[in-house]
């Protein structure tokens, strides 16, 4: 084939992917109907503990996220009821493509396309095609004390969440899951990347509180409850988190 024709075909394909991603994102944050979110469990290691934990999961395992979103969206008069519907999708026997450790923009773009293609081929089970796909990689806590960073991609509405395979961490796993879900919908991080402390005022659940510290809850995109100017602790469950005004604007609950 002539080179100009090949380039034209590639550009047409990429433009198609970009327009598709923009349309999917606009639908997801329109809040006219329930946002369909599928959670795909994946064993990140070959520990029997991880397998046994995945076998205990059901739709019920994510109801606290669904109910939390309903409560958080209520003041904004959202038409969809519930605004977000989460369900368990079939377990995936393979790992998603890993992001480049230190990649240039081109390598990151290539990985993002690869991940979207990988996600597109996953079976949703008996449910209709989900709008957002969250792949949760479970780790046996006896084998991994810390897990890799989770991520949520706005382009393609895909999250890759790292979680611990133990009931003791289930509530906190869901906090990370909700955080990444909101990233896919366009929410930005609201903490200082150098020290993990919530950014003031946008990363505070109650920025007007007197005295300011300690706060009782975390803004979901800051994930930590500010205790003092230099201390914050991870939110332990959905009940300790809120959607702040800036995040609500980013995900379309309010309009500018």
Of residues 24 and 189, the one with the C-beta less far from Zn ion = 189
Query: Distance of CA 19 to CAs 12, 13, 36, 115, 203, Å?
Result: 10, 10, 20, 17, 31
**In whole angstroms, what is the distance from residue 16 CA to residue 24 CA?**
12
User: 171: how many CB neighbours lie within 10 A of its CB?
Assistant: 15
- Residues 107-146 binding Zn ion (CB under 5 A) are none
Chain position whose Cβ is nearest to Zn ion: 189
Report if residue 189 touches Zn ion, rule: CB under 5 A. yes
**What is the nearest approach in angstroms of Zn ion to the Cβ of residue 223?**
7
Tell me the window of 93-101, 157-165, 181-189, 231-239 that interacts with Zn ion (CB under 5 A). Answer: 181-189
Please give the helix or strand (H or E) that residue 101 lies within, else none.
none
Q: Which is nearer to Zn ion, 88 or 115 (CB)?
A: 115
**Which residue, 189 or 192, has its beta carbon nearer to Zn ion?**
189
Cα→Cα distances 147→4, 16, 191, 209, 210, Å = 45, 35, 19, 34, 36
* 55/75 Cα distance (integer angstroms): 36
Q: Are 172 and 64 in contact (CB under 8 A)?
A: no
- Which CB, 28 or 181, lies closer to Zn ion? 181
Does residue number 192 form part of the binding site for Zn ion (CB under 5 A)?
no
In angstroms, what is the minimal distance from the CB of 70 to Zn ion?
22
Q: For strand 132-139 and strand 151-153, is the pairing parallel, antiparallel, or unpaired?
A: unpaired
- Element of type H or E holding 155: none
Q: Which string of x and - marks every residue 223-252 that binds Zn ion (by CB under 5 A)? A: ------------------------------
Q: How many residues bind Zn ion (CB under 5 A)?
A: 1
Nearest approach, Cβ of 152 to Zn ion (angstroms)? 7
Q: How far is the CB of 189 from Zn ion (least distance, A)?
A: 4
Which uninterrupted H or E stretch holds 234? strand 231-234
Q: Which of residues 45-104 bind Zn ion (CB under 5 A)?
A: none
| CB-nearer residue toward Zn ion: 107 or 196 | 196
Name the residue nearer to Zn ion (CB basis): 59 or 189.
Answer: 189
Whole-angstrom Cα distance, residue 154 to residue 183?
6
| Positions that interact with Zn ion (CB under 5 A) | 189
């Amino acid at each position: 084939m002539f080179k100009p024709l090949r380039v034209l075909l590639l550009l047409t394909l990429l433009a198609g992917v970009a327009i598709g991603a923009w349309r999917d994102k606009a639908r997801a944050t329109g809040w006219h109907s329930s946002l369909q979110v599928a959670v795909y469990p994946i064993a990140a290691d070959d520990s029997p503990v991880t397998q046994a934990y995945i076998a205990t999961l059901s739709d019920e395992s994510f109801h606290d996220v669904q109910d939390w979103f309903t409560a958080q969206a209520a003041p904004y008069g959202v038409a969809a009821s519930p605004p977000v519907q989460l369900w368990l999708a079939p377990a995936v026997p393979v790992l998603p493509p890993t992001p480049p450790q230190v990649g240039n923009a081109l390598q990151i773009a290539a990985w993002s396309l690869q991940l979207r293609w990988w996600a597109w081929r996953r079976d949703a089970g008996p449910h209709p095609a989900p709008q957002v796909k969250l792949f949760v990689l479970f780790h046996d806590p006896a084998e991994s004390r810390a897990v890799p960073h989770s991520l949520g991609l706005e382009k393609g509405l895909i999250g890759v969440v790292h979680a611990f395979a133990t009931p003791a961490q289930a509530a906190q796993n869901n906090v990370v899951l909700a955080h990444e879900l909101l990233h896919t919908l366009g929410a930005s991080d609201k903490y200082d990347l150098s020290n993990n402390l919530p950014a003031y005022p946008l990363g505070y659940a109650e920025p007007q509180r007197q005295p300011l510290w300690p706060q009782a809850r975390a803004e979901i995109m800051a994930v930590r409850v500010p205790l003092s100017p230099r201390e914050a602790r991870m939110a332990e469950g959905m009940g300790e988190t809120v959607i702040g005004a800036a995040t609500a604007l980013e995900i379309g609950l309010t309009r500018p």
